[in-house]
Structure 1
Amino acid sequence: MHAADNLVQAVHLTAVKDQRVAELAHGQQRQLEIALALAGAPRFVLFDEPAAGLSPTERQELIEILTSLPAHIGYIIIEHDMDVALRVVESVTMMHNGRVFKEGLPQEIESDPEVQELYLGGGHE
């Protein structure tokens, strides 16, 4: 299989691989952006709010893509959608008012009372 085909498959765009970019849905365009970021075989990728503007279905697709990235590719994700962020990372550094507020494992951050109050609306499922 060709490297481009592998990337298309990795970001779940096989069914639309022959479409023009302008014809892709917003979520599919975001998936393509991930493929482009991976095309250069990076060791590290910075994702800046990859879930912004995505539907719930598209967010789930994003989670599946990010959690299936090869282990040799590190990434930092800046994300305000806590449901997405907490499902795709191994460790969390949260900032508040320009300073590091909390650091820890996703489950520690999610259950922290201060985090719940500030970021998760006082409670989180």
Structure 2
Amino acid sequence: MKSDKDWKKELSQEQYAVLREHGTERAGTSPLDKNYAPGEYRCAACGLPLFSSETKYDSGSGWPSFWAPLDEAVGTSTDFKLIYPRTEVHCRRCGGHLGHVFEDGPEPTGQRYCMNGVALDFVPKED
């Protein structure tokens, strides 16, 4: 575990606000929302692989969305910041806040992992 001071040194101001303070980037601001190249999405804080491009889809929400994470990559908790409870998604390794998961996604899972692009790093698949 890193200290708050260490995270502030390593992350940009926007990454820190999302990953460590549970913030949300503005919809439509992440270039990763419209990225459909083959590869994987990793935690921007610790580098843990989280999502495959094979599960990414255009949800129309303005945030990168996936119908499933990689096995054992993320954890969840209940977020009560709004009037109703939501399921928060965080990195299993560093605990960084990634976004939320909703039950309105496509088959085969019916889930929409709505992630903050600033919390992710995309690594293209090598040929």
As a proportion of its length, which structure holds more helix? Answer: 1
Higher relative contact order (CA 8 A, sep 6+): 2
Query: Under a length normalisation based on structure 2, what TM-score does the superposition of the two structures give?
Result: 0.28
Larger radius of gyration: 1
As a proportion of its length, which structure holds more strand? Answer: 2
